[in-house]
Structure 1
Amino acid sequence: MTAGALFLAVFLACVVEAVEATTIVLAAGIARDWRSALQGVVGGLVVLAAIIAGLGPAVSAIPLGGLRLVVGAILLIFGLQWLRKAILRASGYKALHDEDLIFRTEVAAARAAERQSRRGVSDWYAFTLSFKGVLLEGLEVAFIALTFGSNQHDIPLASIAAAAAVLVVAVAGVAVRGPLARVPENTLKFIVGVMLTGFGMFWGAEGAQAHWPGSDAALLVLVPGIAGLALGLVAALRRRRRPEPALSASVLARERP
């Protein structure tokens, strides 16, 4: 994989996670208390940094063959899950991911919660909501960066891509002070699902000592092939959902005994 492909894959995957975390923090700050929400953000980042500090060396110490097999399997699982949901959303079998609706729901829940002060935090609910959002979504960002970076022996570039994604989304969130509803998240999840599935298959096979024709160039066939298959499934499912055309009155009259 080239440096550009690595950066793009990590950046797009991390944008999706950053949008969800930013939506949660904005809801906590707008509906409750900005100071407590930001304290939750800081707390989540501190815990996340400690986890990354311990996890990073451990991932890097795994032999390359074993690392690619494990990472390939995990990415394939994540990729197929994202791709399955994206196909169902695109074909109409599952509701589209509506960041604006999620934001309004989070705000309503935050406003309804009881206000409590604990351990120097004026609003414990806002703190907890932001802390959990940053920590959970941040762990996924860290996992994506570490696995992609370790497999390609370029953790610094993967980290820069992840940090750039988080920074871009955070700045956009602060600028609009609302949900990032204009981000085409459903399209992003479809693209990322295709990419994770392709990389998962590629690295998993390499970890199992298989050899792809053309080495890394095989990704140029594998990823578009998966995308084509996914789009074909979307088209087939859309046709399956089309209602049967209503029979005209004349046809019904002819069919009556």
Structure 2
Amino acid sequence: MSAWVLFLTVFLACAVEAVEALTIVLAAGTSRHWGSALQGTAAALVVLAAVVAVLGPAIGLIPLDPLRLLVGALLLVFGLQWLRKAVLRASGHKALHDEDAAYAQQVAAAGAAATGGRGRVRDWYAFTLSFKGVFLEGLEVAFIVVTFGDNQRDVPLAVFGALAAVLTVAAVGVAIRAPLARVPENTMKFAVGTMLTSFGLFWSTEGAGAHWPGSDTALLVIVPAVALLAVGCAALLRRGGTPTAPAPDSPPVEGSLR
């Protein structure tokens, strides 16, 4: 895999998670208390740093083939889940994910929650909402960084891709203080689902002891093939009959792979 492919894959996957985490933090801050929301965000980042510090070296101790088999299987599970929902949304059988609607739902839930703080935290609900959102989405970022980086023996580049995604999304969010509704998140999820599925297929096959013709260059065929298959499935579903009114997308669950 080239360095640019690794960087772009990690960047896109982490950007999706960062948009969802930002939506939660913005809802907690604007509807409750910014100080408590930022405290929860900071606490989640500290815990995540500790988890990554333990997780990274531990994964590095696993031999490469078993690691690729394990990671490939997990990426297939995650990637196919993203891709399935992206296909359903593209075909009209599932409502598009709306970051504005998700933000409004979070604000409504936060506004209805009880007030009160604990210790140095003025608003405990804002603190816990931000902590859960950042920590759970951050765990997925950590998984992507550690697995992709360790498999390609280039963890620093994977970390750089994740940091670039998080900082870009955070900078835009701070500048506009609104959910990133204009980000083509569903398109990004389609692309990320394709990439995760492709790499999961590639690594699980390699980990099982088989070898792809051309080694890493086989990805130049696998990725377009998976994308074309997904696009074809969406086209067939559209031809089979698109629901007149797709059910609204369910409220976001912090940390869910959607």
- State the TM-score bracket (shorter-chain normalisation): over 0.9
1:154 corresponds in structure 2 to: 154
Deviation >6 Å, runs of 4+: none
C-alpha distance in structure 2 between counterparts of 1:189 and 1:242, whole Å = 21
Measured after TM superposition, the shift of residue 168 of structure 1 is 0.3
TM-score (norm 2): 0.93
Task: Please name the residue that 1:195 is paired with.
Answer: 195
Q: What is the CA deviation profile of residues 30-80 of structure 1, one whole-angstrom value per residue up to 9, with x for unaligned ones? A: 001000000000110111111111111001111001111111110011000
Closer, same or farther in 2 for the Cα pair 1:104/1:55, shift >3 Å? same
Q: Partners of 2:181 and 2:20 in 1: how far apart? A: 11
Closer, same or farther: CA 196–119 of 1 in aligned 2, 3 Å: same
Q: SS of 2:109's equivalent?
A: helix
Task: For 1:179-218, list aligned pairs within 5 A.
Answer: 179-218=179-218
Alignment of 1:67-86 (within 5 A): 67-86=67-86
Shift of 1:242: 4.9
What one-letter code is carried by the residue in structure 2 that aligns with 1:3? Answer: A
Equivalences for residues 5-44 of structure 1 within 5 A? 5-44=5-44
Q: 1:203 to 1:38 in 2, by over 3 A?
A: same
- In 1, Cα distance between equivalents of 2:52 and 2:7: 19
1:239 partnered with 2:239: yes
CA shift digits 1:110-159 (9 cap, x unpaired)? 11111111121100000000000110000000000000000000001000
The 1-side partners of 2:52 and 2:220 are apart by: 32
The structure that is helix-richer by fraction is 1
Higher radius of gyration, 1 or 2: 1
Q: Matched residues in 2 for 1:193 and 1:132: separation?
A: 24
Unaligned runs of 5+ in 1: 244-257
Aligned twin of 2:248? none
Give 1:181 shift: 0.2
Residue 95 of structure 1: how far off its partner (Å)? 1.0
The aligned residue for residue 248 of structure 1 is none
What CA distance in whole angstroms lies between the structure 1 residues aligned with 2:106 and 2:28? Answer: 8
Shift, 1:108, TM fit:
1.1
- Three-state SS of the structure 2 residue aligned to 1:241 is coil
1:11-160 paired onto structure 2 within 5 Å: 11-160=11-160
CA distance, structure 1, for counterparts of residue 86 and residue 242 of structure 2: 19
Aligned alpha-carbon RMSD (Å) = 0.8
Q: Are the aligned partners of 2:92 and 2:242 in contact in 1 as well (CA < 8 Å)?
A: no
Q: Distance in 2 between matches of 1:50 and 1:197?
A: 29
Deviation of residue 241 (structure 1)?
1.1
The one-letter code of the counterpart of 1:86 is A
Unaligned runs of 5+ in 2: 244-258
Distance 1:2 1:185, change over 3 A: same
Query: TM-score with structure 1 length normalisation?
Result: 0.93
SS of the aligned residue for 1:62 comes to: coil
Name the CA distance, whole Å, in 2 between partners of 1:3 and 1:67: 20
SS of corresponding position for 2:51 = helix
- Alignment match, 2:256: none
| Letter paired with 2:235 | A
User: In structure 2, what residue type is equivalent to 1:98?
Assistant: D
Q: How far apart in 1 are the matches of 2:191 and 2:52?
A: 26
Q: For residue 223 of structure 1, what is the aligned residue in structure 2?
A: 223
Q: Distance in 2 between matches of 1:65 and 1:229?
A: 28
Q: Which amino acid aligns with 1:153?
A: R
CA distance in 2, matches of 1:236, 1:199: 25
